[in-house]
Amino acid sequence: MSVITVVGSGMMGSALSVPACDNGHEVRLVGTHLDREIIASLQADRFHPTLKRTLPEGIKAFQLEEIQEALAGSDVVICGVNSFGVEWFGETILPLIPGHIPVLAVTKGLRERGNGELEPFPHYWQGLVENRLSINAIGGPCTSYELADRRQTWVYFCGDDPEVLRKLKELLETDYYHVSTSTDVIGIEAAVALKNAYALGVSFAVGLQEREFGIGCTPAYNPQAGLFGQAAMEMTRLVRFLGGSDESINVGLGDLYVTIFGGRNRKLGTLLGRGLSMQEALEELKGLTLESLMIITTAASALRKLAQRGLASLEEYPLLRHMDEVINQDRPVSIPWKEFTRTV
C-alpha cells in the first residue's frame, strides 16, 4: 500500500481518489483555500457536493492548513487544481514536496512566453523548482463523474521519465481505469488543453440551432460535425507545430469528443450560440470554472505573435480566431464557414 495525497478537491482530483482507493492505497484529499465547504462536507459524511457522489471509505479529507500532515509519508502527490490555480500550486505547494516524490497533475492548459512560444504546465512548474521534482500529467477522454462511477476510461500519463510513469501507472491503473504512458509531454498537454477551447467552438452550433428553432429543438448534427472536423484540423496543425506526435493528437481528439457532450465548455458555447453576450453568458454560468476562456485567449495571443515573426499563419486557424473574437471582443457568433473550405 502507498500513500497518495491529492491537492485540490475539485471534481477531477476527487474522482481520481476512487481508483487510488480501490487499489488499496491510503488517499489523503487536501482542499485549497477555495474548497473549504467541499472538505467540510467530506469530513462530515464523505459526500462531495460538486461531484455529487459519496466517496469511498478510506479517503481522508484535510483542510489546507493541514497540508504538512497530509504530505508526511506520501509516495505520490496528485495536483488536482484547475488552470487558474497553476501559479498558486507552483509557488505554494511544490516547494513543500520532497524531491523523491513524483507529482501527477490533472491540470490542463498552456502558458505563453513573451515571444509567442507555448509551454505545458509541467515544464513551467519544473522551471520553478529547478527540475528538483518529477512532474507528470494526465491527458485523455475522461469526465470526472464517470470516473467516480467506475466507467471504463482510457487515459495517458505523460512525463520525461518512463520509469516514473510505469510506477504511476502501477499505482493507479484498475480494471476500469486504463493507462498508457508517453514522454511526449508537449503533445499530450497541448492536445488536451486545446480540446477545451474547441469544445466551446463546436457547441456554437448547438446554440445557433436553438436560437432559430427554440431550446429543446431537434439537434442539427451537420453543423456540429463540420465544426468538429475544423477543430480537429486546427488542433492537429498546432500540436504538430509545437512538436507533438500524431498519437498525442488522437488523445486530444478523443478528449474533444467526450467534452462536447456535456460540461461547462459546452454550456458556454451553447449560450453564446443562442445570442447571449459574453457578459450575459458568464452571469448565467456564475461560479463555474471556464478553462476554455484561458486557453482560447492564450493560444490566439501566441499565434498572433508567431504570425508576426513569420512562423505561423493566422489564416489556418479561422475557428480559433472566431472564438477569440466572440469571447474577447464580444462579437456575435457567426461561423466563418467559407474560411474552412479548401480548393485544390
Q: Which positions are catalytic? A: 195
DSSP 3-state percent helix, strand, coil across the chain (nearest 5): 55, 15, 30
Q: How distant, in Å, are the alpha carbons of 27, 42, 106, 156, 173 from that of 24?
A: 9, 19, 21, 22, 12
Paired with 60 in beta bridges are 28
Angle, in degrees to the nearest 10, between helices 291-308 and 264-274 = 70
CA distance 288 to 257: 21
Q: List the grid coordinates of 57.
A: 471509505
CA distance 199 to 132: 35
First to last CA, the chain: 60
**Which residue type sits at 114?**
G
Question: What angle is formed at CA 34 by the lines to CA 265 and CA 137, rounded to 5 degrees?
Answer: 60
CA distance 325 to 43: 44
